[in-house]
Every structure is written in C-alpha cells, then in structure tokens.
A and B are shown apart, each in its own frame.
Chain A
C-alpha cells in the first residue's frame, strides 16, 4: 500500500475518496492558471549600473532612507538572485528596505559560451569591485555593507579580504569557506577520484545549467522528486500554497550556467584543495587572507542545510581579524533561510537590528 493513499474499506469511504479526488481534479485548471501567472521578484527595481552581462539593481521604495551606508546583496552564480525577494511576505530585501536601508542586488547575468574564460578573479576583483566603486561614487559613502548568500557569500568573503577598506559590515548567509567538512554530498561528489572537472569543461565549456540543476535535485531525491508532489496534491485547492509553490518552482527551474573557469577554480581550489580557509587562495597575484577582514561580521548558518553544512561556514568566524563577530545557527534549510516563514519572523528582524546598530544613520 502506498503511503497517503489508504484503501477504502467501506462504500462510504470509497465515495469520500472519489469526491476528494474529483475536487482535486476540479482544482487543476486554477492551479495551471496560478502557475502561469505567478510573479517572482516583487519589489520594483531599477538598473543603476551595467557591465557586460552584469546588472546592478537598486530596489525602489517609498520608505524613507534611515541609513547612509548602502547594502549590496551578492548571490551565487548558479541561480537567479530574486530568491531574496521571491514574494511579498517572503522577501529578505523587504526587511532591509522596511528598516530604511538602501538596498542593491547584483544580477550576474547569464554567461554565454564566450564567457567560459571568466575566472573568480574577474567576478570578485573585476565585477564586484566595480559595483562597489560605483555604489561608493553614487552614494558618497567610502564603504558599503555586503550580504553574500551561498557561493556569493564565499565570493564576498574573498572580496572583503582583498578590499577590506571598502566594506563596512559583512553578512554571510549559508556561505561555505571551509571545505574540509565533507558532510555534504556535494563535497563527496566533487572528490577528484570520482569527478574530473577538466573533462567536463573541455566538453561543455561552461558548467551547464541543467546539469547543475539535476545535481542539486539529486541531493534530496525523495523530497524533490516524490514528497514534493505528494504535498502539492494534498494542497491543490489551497491558492496561497499554490502561489508559493509555483514561485519556488519558478526559481528552482531558473538555473543558469556557471562560467567554466570560475567553476573549475571553485571545484579545484575550494572543494578539492580547500585553499580559502588556509589563506592559500590566490586571485590574480593577490593572496586571499581572511584575517585581513576587520569589519563587523555576521555569519548566518542553517541547521538543516544539505548544501552548505554549518561546518563549512562556522570556521569563518575564527579565520577573520574582526573583533565584532557573531554567528546565528538558525533551524532552517539552505533555501528556508531566505523564504521560510520562521526565518522571516525570527531571523531577519534580528539581522536588520544587527546591521542598524553598526551603520551610520542619515543626518539632517
């Protein structure tokens, strides 16, 4: 017997089950319409800086600005950044805007075949540094606040190590920095014994989006390929659930390729050789030493993170030179940190308070 489908033992039970099934089938057209109309990334944005495929988006808001220093969000290169502004009530960006911060988001764009030679250095010391310089010019502030999520967090840590004078506060969200912790399946799958990154990139050029997506899906095959659809079936008549479900599905299926050289470097230097935490990673001819980071740091980790276990993030606090450092280990998953109701209720207000205490207020 399949779980969730009980065999009817009486005619009444059979009729009841049939009615339930018919109701769900009746809800299908509405579900299809919601799937078609679902909107993601709901806060209005304006592009304030572009370079190659990168766009720096500024979130527009009527809320009066309370803080001088702008906040820039750096997301991973593997997905779209609107996960942090998925839907009303599930938007991290809205928390910061509501608190009076000037918020920007880096949309790295979709690398084409010709971008396969872009390296981590290009992203960190090229694009990211240019974005920060633009924000400094635009706002007149010497420094910016950075929030880095996942791989974007690792890149933010690299940036803050190399250009510490430009970073006022650094917030890392489920960001790996120490890959000696092999708890995650990804660490095992990228072991050089089983995974030849050079061969993959020789054939594909960039790391293909669909290949990345199926790898992420395989990390939790039962949840992603079976359980999710059971939950969907059970909640087919709940419009609120469907809106959230399809918004999430839109994001999950909106993967983008990663520039080949960047991916190679990330796999080899980070996953396989673990150079970042050891202070041995070099971008161009600059060595990334995290002890150079002296600004206040807030390290947010997810207790049930299957992608970036806490063990890969927590060593960051001991590696930096900052005196003001804090970590919050929140009971959520990797994506739940950004979209979970509990995180929006209990975590993000705390993060906003932390940032507010360390950011200069607008004067006059």
Chain B
C-alpha cells in the first residue's frame, strides 16, 4: 500500500485508490476504446469500490471521532447562539423558548395528574357498576375509556 505521508485519515483513501485502480484495470480500463457495456461495468465497479471504502471509512475510529468533534463544535456554537438570543429576549421582556418549554411542562404535569385522576374514577365507576349489576363490567369500562379520548 502506498505511503500516505503520515497525513491523518488519509490511509483509507490511499487504500481505496490503489484497490479501485486495480479493479478498474481488471474491468477493462486498459482497453483503448471501451464498449458501452464495458463502460457500464467499469462504472459499476468504480461506484461499488467507492461505496465499499466510504462505508469502511465511516466505520473507522478516525471518522467517528471526527464526527463527534464536528458535532460537539456545532452544538456548542448553536448553544451559544441560543443563550445569546434568550438573554436578548429576556432583556426585551419577551418570551423565549425556555418560557414556552416551562409552560408546556406545566401543562403536561397538569394533564398527567388529571388523567391519573380520571383513570382512578373510571376504575371506581367500573367497580360500582360491577357491584350494582353483579356482572362483568368490561363493556362499560371500554365505553368509559373511549370517552376519555386522551390517555396521555
């Protein structure tokens, strides 16, 4: 395999290039005027090799660490922008995303408590109906549940 000259992350590309050249040669690259089907075959081989090595590279530690680094940097930048916007909105006494998140969380908490209460009431009604009818109350349970559409 040719030497990459110590450039980080370059080895997979060098490997790809040498292997691809060998495969292309075998697929008919050496012919002076390749026929159309041969061209198609060569193209298929070329893209096949490229895909194979792209996949190999994307599984490599180098790529994964690079991806993590790039993501961390972009998230840090976005976070700083968010904080800047939030403080700007706060100074202008306008609602920011943090405020809407807070309201949504309050509503969800309220919804959860209400639904828990409703579930308990449904169960209680089922019990009472079962006691009254002396029979299985599964039908009424389904009906009660269907009425309380939102179960989240």
Interface residue ranges, A against B (CB under 8 Å): 1, 3-4, 6, 9, 51, 113-114, 116-117, 121-122, 125-127, 129-130, 133, 137, 185, 188-189, 191, 193-196, 199-200, 202-205, 218, 220-223, 226-227, 230
Contacts and interface: CB of A to CB of B under 8 A. Distances in A.
Contact of B33 (A9, A121, A129, A218): A9
B39 A4 contact: yes
A179 B108 CA distance: 31
B50 A222 contact: yes
Contact of B68 (A6, A137, A194): A194
Interface of B: 29, 32-34, 39-40, 42-43, 46-47, 50-51, 54-55, 58-59, 64-65, 67-68, 71-72, 75, 78-79, 82, 97, 100-101, 104-105, 108, 145-146, 149-152
A181 B84 CA distance: 42
A18 B44 CA distance: 23
Nearest to B82: A203
A117 B104 contact: yes
A191 B64 CA distance: 10
Contacts of B149: 51, 130, 133
B58 A113 contact: no
A188 B100 CA distance: 34
Nearest to B80: A203
A222 B32 contact: no
B81 to A, nearest CB: 9
B150 A221 contact: no
15 contacts: A3-B43, A4-B39, A6-B33, A51-B150, A116-B101, A126-B151, A133-B145, A133-B149, A194-B68, A195-B68, A196-B71, A204-B78, A218-B58, A226-B47, A226-B50
Nearest to B43: A3
Contact of A130 (B75, B100, B151): B151
A221 B68 contact: no
Contacts of B101: 116-117, 205
Given A3-B39, A195-B68, A203 B100 contact: no
A114 B47 contact: no
Contacts of B59: 185, 188
Contacts of A133: 145-146, 149
Contacts of B150: 51, 126, 130
Contact of B75 (A1, A117, A188, A203): A203
A200 B71 CA distance: 9
Output the residue of A4, A9, A129, A218 with the most chain B CB within 10 A. Answer: A4
Nearest to B27: A3
Contacts of B32: 9
Given A133-B145, A185-B58, A199 B75 contact: yes
Contact of B64 (A114, A125, A188, A223): A188
B64 A117 contact: no
Contact of B100 (A114, A189, A220, A221): A114
A20 B51 CA distance: 28
Which 5 A-B pairs have CB atoms at the shortest separation, nearest pair first? Answer: A126-B152, A3-B43, A222-B51, A3-B46, A194-B68
Given A6-B39, A205-B97, A200 B47 contact: no
Nearest to A133: B146
Contact of B152 (A114, A125, A218, A223): A125
